[in-house]
């Protein structure tokens, strides 16, 4: 009973699946109590782990002899703000996860190690960093009237105001963001801006633009390819308020930004804003929540807005700003045409019309881009004698032929093997590739155009760190005549000398079961088409063009693409969704279950479905996922739907409470607002 030493109780959340706050004792004088938002090192089981202090109390309900002492408080790191804690709290609540599982992985690993060596080193390094210099931004283009109006409307906005910036590809949305940012930075001497982009590959281009435009401003970047040391440093720069612009991918939405004044979300429709494992959050939705919480403006930009955002703009919840024309003098939108593959039968995947168009670009010294969203050489190989095909024996999927690497690869599990010399079933030595991936198109092109400089960009060709950037740089430097690539090349890039885009095989998405497939296909086609003709009239004087090879030239989706008609396409699609009662007119959650046997997963989901009922929540029958088996695990899903978001949220809370008490060996997870169902 020592009266000299005071204790307090630290209430701490940890990165565990348990929905719990843990109490720890911490010896301290009343005046020196740790603060909420600080990190502490605590014993947990047999480990020492870092946790986040969410409360400081005088006493605990835990019996004295069970109470453990915290080991250290990370006082060198200033506390996370109440606003940040509220953001993590909202995300945890909305996506039905424990707070600790949201908050802690949101922090750099180096803040959470048992020792603080890396943290201390980063703090020292940051203290020495000096960004003060008087560079003058060069080449600030004069905005056109529509851009100027948008930049002023965004840069001058006060308070919570979400803006949808709908601008055709090449309309100069980036320039609008930059000049709006300049206004905010000038008005708010300590203010911070968060800019989100969908892909790591797009950060270097924008990073360069930002650095050139704001020479004296510290910029931090946050994305998954930073080293832990870099991530720590950049995160700290944001957390201390020193980085005034933070540029990142979806994970940056959880950055600590104590003086945040503006959020920019570029290509807001992009599926990459949805995290597809662990905490399956939508960075776009969290960004809008964050803007409202902080009462600051947010701008969502796209040439093909998501139907959710378009619907908000139509209903007046978001302000709509439109850029109808391309920004560069003489740069008009490309002419888009459909090539009927029934009439003009493709050879090596290319119709004669597309080959002629490629040849014309070669002669004029202009660049072409061929888009095929399928990597590898061929999606499958088969034996024509007995019908054997290269299935993955661990997944409901084919083994894809990668000919340059002499391998078959499953793109869903890590399985890899040498290409069999003969059919494993009948011994036939004549195994044939079926279908076409980027490698095969590349091979065909090399034969057709032996003098062309051909570059393939896909996940296989860019495995090494930095190789994607090097590849894009060489396109920008004009060292490439024909670029062939997957969706990696479709987004955002400002290729100046590209005047032809060929789209090889988009038809499969027309008949997908996924109700979002047509929205995605439209966006993807407009994005990739938007890479053409960005720099104005080419030297050769040709109008830039986009050629889409299809077997269904009459399909209305292609009609909208050809007319560059997002508005009517989106309006029609929204009507369809309303009639069919689909999002955004309906709210969904998806319970997934994984087990070695499908029956076990379905059985668990059936049990889950019967736990709780509500007249306004529909629980559908459990079904196998469309790709049922991955890496020897079978997967099934149960869809929940309701017309009201709060009602669905309330139901999920109660339901999950019951579900967590179910003893099962099935691995399950819940996704709120699922996109792939
Ligand atoms: P978006 O993001 O809308 O597709 P970008 O921001 O990439 O378009 O701009 C397309 C091109 O137009 C870029 O090369 C950019 O430098 C140029 N640009 C933008 N605004 C202007 C302007 N006001 N005057 C001249 N060029 C501009
Ligand atoms: Zn065979
Ligand atoms: Zn597999």
Q: Please state, in angstroms and rounded to a whole number, the distance separating the CA atoms of residues 117 and 104.
A: 19
pLDDT at residue 203 in the model: 74
What distance in angstroms lies between residue 328's CA and the mean position of ligand 1's atoms?
Answer: 6
pLDDT tens-place string over residues 421-458: 999 999 999 999 999 999 999 999 999 999 999 999 99
Nearest CA to ligand 1 atom 5: 172
What distance in angstroms lies between residue 319's CA and the mean position of ligand 2's atoms?
Answer: 61
Joined together, the tokens standing for residue 511 give 């008949």
Residue 423 assigned to a binding site: yes
Mean pLDDT of 355-364: 96
Q: Please state, in angstroms and rounded to a whole number, the distance separating the CA atoms of residues 418 and 402.
A: 10
Residue 395 assigned to a binding site: yes
Helical H runs in 9-116?
Answer: 82-94, 99-103
pLDDT at residue 328 in the model: 87
From the CA of 491, the nearest ligand is 1
pLDDT at residue 131 in the model: 67
Nearest CA to ligand 1 atom 23: 143
Ligand 1: atom nearest CA of 167 is 3
Count the neighbouring beta carbons within 10 Å of the beta carbon of residue 66. 8
Token pair 């007995």 in the structure block, residue: 386
Joined together, the tokens standing for residue 454 give 């051909």
What distance in angstroms lies between residue 565's CA and the mean position of ligand 1's atoms?
Answer: 21
Has residue 474 got a pLDDT over 50? yes
What distance in angstroms lies between residue 539's CA and the mean position of ligand 1's atoms?
Answer: 19
Joined together, the tokens standing for residue 672 give 């709120």
Ligand 1: atom nearest CA of 496 is 14
From the CA of 431, the nearest ligand is 2
> In the chain, what are the domains?
2-105 (3.40.1440.60), 145-323 (3.40.50.300), 335-375+437-573 (3.40.50.300), 587-672 (3.30.70.600)
List CB contacts of 533: < 8 A, sequence separation 6 or more. Answer: 170, 331, 332, 333, 334, 498, 499, 543, 544, 545
The rounded percent of the chain whose pLDDT value lies above 70 is: 97
Q: Please state, in angstroms and rounded to a whole number, the distance separating the CA atoms of residues 535 and 3.
A: 77
Q: How far is CA 404 from CA 339, 439, 440, 443, in A?
A: 30, 8, 10, 10
Mean pLDDT of 392-402: 97
The pTM assigned to this predicted structure is 0.94
Closest by CA position to 299, among listed 326, 270, 283, 321: 321
Q: Please state, in angstroms and rounded to a whole number, the distance separating the CA atoms of residues 574 and 581.
A: 10
- Max intra-chain CA distance, the chain: 93
Q: Please state, in angstroms and rounded to a whole number, the distance separating the CA atoms of residues 232 and 253.
A: 16
Q: Please state, in angstroms and rounded to a whole number, the distance separating the CA atoms of residues 190 and 192.
A: 7
Strands 219-222 and 245-248: parallel
Nearest CA to ligand 1 atom 25: 328
In testing the pocket of ligand 1, which one of 145, 148, 175 has its CB within 8 Å of the most ligand atoms? 175
pLDDT at residue 211 in the model: 92
What distance in angstroms lies between residue 175's CA and the mean position of ligand 1's atoms?
Answer: 6
pLDDT band at 677 (very low <50, low <70, confident <90, very high): confident
From the CA of 178, the nearest ligand is 1
Has residue 619 got a pLDDT over 60? yes
Has residue 4 got a pLDDT over 50? no
Has residue 224 got a pLDDT over 60? yes
Q: Please state, in angstroms and rounded to a whole number, the distance separating the CA atoms of residues 484 and 348.
A: 14
Ligand 1 first shell, C-beta below 6 A: 141-144, 147, 167, 169-175, 327-328, 494, 534
Residue 28 assigned to a binding site: no
Count the neighbouring beta carbons within 10 Å of the beta carbon of residue 95. 23
Mean pLDDT of 50-74: 95
Closest by CA position to 418, among listed 433, 402, 434: 402
Q: Please state, in angstroms and rounded to a whole number, the distance separating the CA atoms of residues 663 and 411.
A: 33
From the CA of 533, the nearest ligand is 1
What distance in angstroms lies between residue 595's CA and the mean position of ligand 3's atoms?
Answer: 16
pLDDT band at 266 (very low <50, low <70, confident <90, very high): very high
In testing the pocket of ligand 1, which one of 168, 169, 170, 212 has its CB within 8 Å of the most ligand atoms? 170
Mean pLDDT of 128-154: 86
Residue 382 assigned to a binding site: no
pLDDT at residue 594 in the model: 97
Residue 383 assigned to a binding site: yes
Nearest CA to ligand 1 atom 14: 494
Do 478 and 453 contact (CB within 8 A), yes or no? no
Nearest CA to ligand 1 atom 2: 173
Cα 422 off chain centre by: 41
Q: Please state, in angstroms and rounded to a whole number, the distance separating the CA atoms of residues 177 and 185.
A: 12
Joined together, the tokens standing for residue 194 give 């968060």
Cα 580 off chain centre by: 27
Q: Please state, in angstroms and rounded to a whole number, the distance separating the CA atoms of residues 281 and 57.
A: 32
Residue 181 assigned to a binding site: no
What distance in angstroms lies between residue 137's CA and the mean position of ligand 1's atoms?
Answer: 17
pLDDT tens-place string over residues 545-571: 999 999 999 999 999 999 999 999 999
Write a three-state SS string for 176-222: HHHHHHHHHHHHCCCCEEEEECCCHHHHHHHHHHHHHHCCCCCEEEE
Is the Cα dihedral 258, 262, 266, 267 positive or negative? positive
Joined together, the tokens standing for residue 449 give 């155009």
Helical H runs in 350-466?
Answer: 352-364, 438-448
Give me the phi and psi of 120, to 5 degrees please.
-65, -40
ipTM of the complex: 0.97
Mean pLDDT of 119-131: 90
Closest by CA position to 49, among listed 114, 4, 133, 94: 114
Q: Please state, in angstroms and rounded to a whole number, the distance separating the CA atoms of residues 197 and 620.
A: 35
pLDDT band at 2 (very low <50, low <70, confident <90, very high): very low
Q: How far is CA 634 from CA 469, 542, 594, 662, in A?
A: 37, 53, 6, 20
pLDDT tens-place string over residues 187-220: 999 999 999 999 877 777 889 999 999 998 999 9
Token pair 């967590």 in the structure block, residue: 660
Joined together, the tokens standing for residue 312 give 């908000």
In testing the pocket of ligand 1, which one of 140, 328, 537 has its CB within 8 Å of the most ligand atoms? 328
Q: How far is CA 542 from CA 69, 165, 209, 360, 533, in A?
A: 74, 30, 29, 9, 9
275: helix, strand or coil: coil
pLDDT tens-place string over residues 93-108: 999 999 999 999 999 9
Q: How many residues does the structure list for the chain? A: 677
What distance in angstroms lies between residue 427's CA and the mean position of ligand 2's atoms?
Answer: 6
Q: Mean of the per-residue pLDDT values for the chain?
A: 94
Strands 297-302 and 431-434: unpaired
Mean pLDDT of 328-356: 94
């Amino acid at each position: 009973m020592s009266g000299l030493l005071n204790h307090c109780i630290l209430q701490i959340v940890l990165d565990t699946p348990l929905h719990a706050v843990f109490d720890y004792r911490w010896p301290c004088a009343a005046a020196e109590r740790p603060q909420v938002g600080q990190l502490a090192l605590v014993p947990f089981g047999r480990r020492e782990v870092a946790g986040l202090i969410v409360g400081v109390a005088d006493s605990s309900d835990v019996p004295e002899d069970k109470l453990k002492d915290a080991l250290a408080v990370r006082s060198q790191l200033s506390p996370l703000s109440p606003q940040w804690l509220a953001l993590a709290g909202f995300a945890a609540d909305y996506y039905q996860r424990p707070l600790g599982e949201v908050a802690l992985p949101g922090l750099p690993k180096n803040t959470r190690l048992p020792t603080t060596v890396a943290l201390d080193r980063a703090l020292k390094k940051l203290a020495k960093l000096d960004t003060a210099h008087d560079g003058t931004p060069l080449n600030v283009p004069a905005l056109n009237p529509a851009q100027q109006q948008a930049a002023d409307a965004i840069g001058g906005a006060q308070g919570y105001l979400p803006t949808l910036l709908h601008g055709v590809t090449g309309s100069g949305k980036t320039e609008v963001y930059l000049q709006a940012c300049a206004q905010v930075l000038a008005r708010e001497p300590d203010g911070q801006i968060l800019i989100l982009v969908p892909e790591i590959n797009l950060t270097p281009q924008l990073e360069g633009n930002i650095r050139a435009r704001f020479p004296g401003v510290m910029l931090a970047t946050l994305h998954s390819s930073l080293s832990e040391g870099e991530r720590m440093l950049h995160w700290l720069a944001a957390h201390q308020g020193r980085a005034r612009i933070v540029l990142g991918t979806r994970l940056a939405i959880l950055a600590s930004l104590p003086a945040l004044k503006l959020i920019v979300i570029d290509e807001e429709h992009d599926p990459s804003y949805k995290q597809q494992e662990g905490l399956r959050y939508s960075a776009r939705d969290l960004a809008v929540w964050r803007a409202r919480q902080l009462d600051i403006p947010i701008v969502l930009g796209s040439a093909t807005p998501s139907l959710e955002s378009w619907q908000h703009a139509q209903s007046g919840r978001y302000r709509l700003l439109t850029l109808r024309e391309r920004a560069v003098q003489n740069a008009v939108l490309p002419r888009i045409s459909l090539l009927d593959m029934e009439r003009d039968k493709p050879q090596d995947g290319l119709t004669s019309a597309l080959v002629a168009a490629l040849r014309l670009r070669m002669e004029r010294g202009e660049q072409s881009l061929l888009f095929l969203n399928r990597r590898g050489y061929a999606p499958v190989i088969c034996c024509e004698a007995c019908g054997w095909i290269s299935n993955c024996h661990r997944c409901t999927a084919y083994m894809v032929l990668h000919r340059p690497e002499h391998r078959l690869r499953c793109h869903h599990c890590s399985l890899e093997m040498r290409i069999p010399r003969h059919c494993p079933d009948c011994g036939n030595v004549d195994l044939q590739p079926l279908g076409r991936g980027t490698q095969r198109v590349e091979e065909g092109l090399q034969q057709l155009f032996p003098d062309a400089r051909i570059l393939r960009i896909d996940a296989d060709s860019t495995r090494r760190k930095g190789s994607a950037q090097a590849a894009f740089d060489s396109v920008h430097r004009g060292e490439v005549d024909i670029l062939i690539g997957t969706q990696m090349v479709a987004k955002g890039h400002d290729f100046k000398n590209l005047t032809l885009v060929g789209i090889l095989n988009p038809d499969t998405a027309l008949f997908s079961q996924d109700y979002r497939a047509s929205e995605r296909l439209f966006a993807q086609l407009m994005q990739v088409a938007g890479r053409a003709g960005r720099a104005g009239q080419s030297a050769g004087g040709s109008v830039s063009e986009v050629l889409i090879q299809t077997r269904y030239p009459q399909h209305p989706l292609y009609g909208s693409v050809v007319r560059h008609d997002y508005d009517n396409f989106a309006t029609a699609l929204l009507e369809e969704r309303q009639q069919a009662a689909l999002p955004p007119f309906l709210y969904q959650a998806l319970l997934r279950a994984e087990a070695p046997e499908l029956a076990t997963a379905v059985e668990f989901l059936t049990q889950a479905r019967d736990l709780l009922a509500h007249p306004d929540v529909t629980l559908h029958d459990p079904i196998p996922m469309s790709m049922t088996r991955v890496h020897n695990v079978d997967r099934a899903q149960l869809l929940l739907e309701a017309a009201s978001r709060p009602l669905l949220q309330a139901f999920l809370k109660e339901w999950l409470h019951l579900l967590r008490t179910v003893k099962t060996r099935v691995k399950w997870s819940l996704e709120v607002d699922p996109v792939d169902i």
